[in-house]
Amino acid sequence: MIGWIDSRLGVDSWARKALRKVFPDHWSFLLGEIALFTFIVLVATGVFLTLFYRPDATPVVYEGPYAPLRGREVSAAYESVLRLSFEVRAGLVMRQIHHWAALVFVASIVVHAARVFFTGAFRRPREINWLVGVGLLVMALMMGFTGYSLPDDLLSGTGLRIGYSAIISIPFLGPYLAYLAFGGEFPSEGVISRLFVMHVMLFPAIIIGLISAHLAILVRQKHAQFAAAGRTERNVVGKRLWPSQVFKSTGLMLITAAVLAVMGGLVQINAIWEYGPFDATTVSSPAQPDWYMGWLEGAIRLWPPFEPSFFGITLPAMFIPSVLLPGIFFTLFALWPFVEARAIKDHEEHHLLDRPRDVPFRTAVGAGGLAFVTVLTLAGGNDVLALMFNVPVESVTWFLRVAIFVVPAAVAGVTYRIALELRDGDRRVFGRKKAIFLERGPSGGYDEKP
């Protein structure tokens, strides 16, 4: 069989070489794999959902088994999701696995990106793959936003409305762009089918393309590795792809899918029948987006009522927190490898990873950035916090308006000190930057191992 294929395609030696690829072993290298496997789960469950979902805003009267909504006028899209949830066998579990997988997908990308950032794995020659990764993160967010808008329930309709208001706030172009994106003034009937096409066709195609590039570059450049005995900038030390790494990764894939399956079965998520169908004149309170949108929502909530106007041209209050801020944030994030290389004048190739303490400045910037996003995410739930601690929502907002400046700065400062102490502590012990290894000899004395 292998001979039959090889005599036609001549791929045997290529495949053997690929299966002999060397993988350095470290648990944190599996985070990216979790993202990949979650994407596979998303595609598998998503295909199933697509077969039942109707991207159609036409009003219909609900007559299904869910009694509280019977007789209510809902959109065909919403009705199809109710039918999928209550009438299609295994439909609800598929939907819930899909939604949980979407949350884990973004989370695993973020944690993977943090690993790459804090270990300096983005440095030359891996800057291109860092950019591809940032593209994947942005696409994952777009997938999340378009996906949770599809059921056409009250909560997702609120998210869409805020998205529309963000687009319309763009100076000079906003109204035109918003009408092009939504096909007219919000709420327009056609937007559901557009979101559907983006969610099931356009964005997945882009993501598959980016994942392919991400992996191809990884194979071409080989893995980076943590410093240890025998590991240098010129080699890569680890186990071969076949068999151990293939087995480990397959095991991890199945375990990832298993966790998502259990969550999808046991933990309810996005119960759209409780929110009710979308209605342009109603909104639920408190309204929370999925976790990865919380920081943008938080920025919008914290922003002061600042809406200046020059010569009759208004700068809408939404523009800075909902368009400019994420734009600047992602630009800085994407360009970080180049910014850092210029700042410390280091344009060399690096294949040995840093420990976070080795580069206190970078670690402090990363920790400060994470703190910034965390405070914003809390602000996205200021109404929930107010309810939880039984204080006026105004107080929570004012507290967080101060915290957004204080907390990231404090976290960055403290992180810098800790990293510096740890690094210098190591140096005091070892007297040099790289670790040395001691071996106990037969006479009981210690010798330095080369």
Query: Which of 40, 201, 205, 258 is close enough to bind another protein by CB under 8 A?
Result: 258
**DSSP annotation string for 141-194:** HHHHHHHHHTT-BHHHHHHHHHHHHHHHTSTTTHHHHHHHHHTSSSSPTTHHHH
Joined together, the tokens standing for residue 354 give 């840093």
Site mask, another protein, residues 96-115, x = CB under 8 A? xx------------------
Joined together, the tokens standing for residue 291 give 């976790």
Q: Which is nearer to another protein, 173 or 339 (CB)?
A: 173
Under the criterion CB under 8 A, does residue 89 sit at the interface with another protein?
Answer: yes
Query: Which of 114, 218, 317, 384 is close enough to bind another protein by CB under 8 A?
Result: 317
Which region, judged by CB under 8 A, interacts with another protein, from 61-69, 114-122, 229-237, 411-419?
229-237
Under the criterion CB under 8 A, does residue 263 sit at the interface with another protein?
Answer: yes
Question: d(Cα 120, Cα 125) in Å, to the nearest integer?
Answer: 11
Query: Which of 60, 383, 414, 422 is close enough to bind another protein by CB under 8 A?
Result: 383
Residue type, 49: L
Query: Which of 315, 335, 352, 407 is close enough to bind another protein by CB under 8 A?
Result: 315
Under the criterion CB under 8 A, does residue 78 sit at the interface with another protein?
Answer: no
Q: Which is nearer to another protein, 85 or 119 (CB)?
A: 85
Residue 70, CB-side half-sphere exposure with 13 Å CA sphere = 6
Which region, judged by CB under 8 A, interacts with another protein, from 5-13, 279-287, 324-332, 411-419?
279-287
Residues 408-447 contacting another protein, CB under 8 A: none
Residues 321-350 contacting another protein, CB under 8 A: 321, 349
Contact 166, 322 (CB under 8 A): yes
Residue showing tokens 């200021």: 382
Query: Which of 50, 58, 244, 331 is close enough to bind another protein by CB under 8 A?
Result: 244
Site mask, another protein, residues 28-47, x = CB under 8 A? --------------------
3-state secondary structure of 119: coil
Under the criterion CB under 8 A, does residue 165 sit at the interface with another protein?
Answer: yes
Which region, judged by CB under 8 A, interacts with another protein, from 64-72, 74-82, 112-120, 258-266?
258-266
Which region, judged by CB under 8 A, interacts with another protein, from 75-83, 92-100, 339-347, 359-367?
92-100
Contact 339, 122 (CB under 8 A): no
Residue type, 185: E
Under the criterion CB under 8 A, does residue 360 sit at the interface with another protein?
Answer: no
∠ CA 88-91-96, nearest 5°, is 155
Which region, judged by CB under 8 A, interacts with another protein, from 105-113, 134-142, 246-254, 406-414?
246-254
Joined together, the tokens standing for residue 423 give 């690094």
Which region, judged by CB under 8 A, interacts with another protein, from 4-12, 128-136, 200-208, 251-259?
251-259
For 25, 67, 188, 268, 314, the CA distances from 249, given in Å and listed in that order, are 12, 45, 45, 29, 54
Question: d(Cα 112, Cα 115) in Å, to the nearest integer?
Answer: 5
Joined together, the tokens standing for residue 88 give 């299609």
Residues 181-210 contacting another protein, CB under 8 A: 181-187
3-state secondary structure of 340: helix
Rg (CA), the chain: 26
> How many C-beta atoms lie closer than 10 Å to residue 434's C-beta?
8
Under the criterion CB under 8 A, does residue 287 sit at the interface with another protein?
Answer: yes
Under the criterion CB under 8 A, does residue 171 sit at the interface with another protein?
Answer: yes
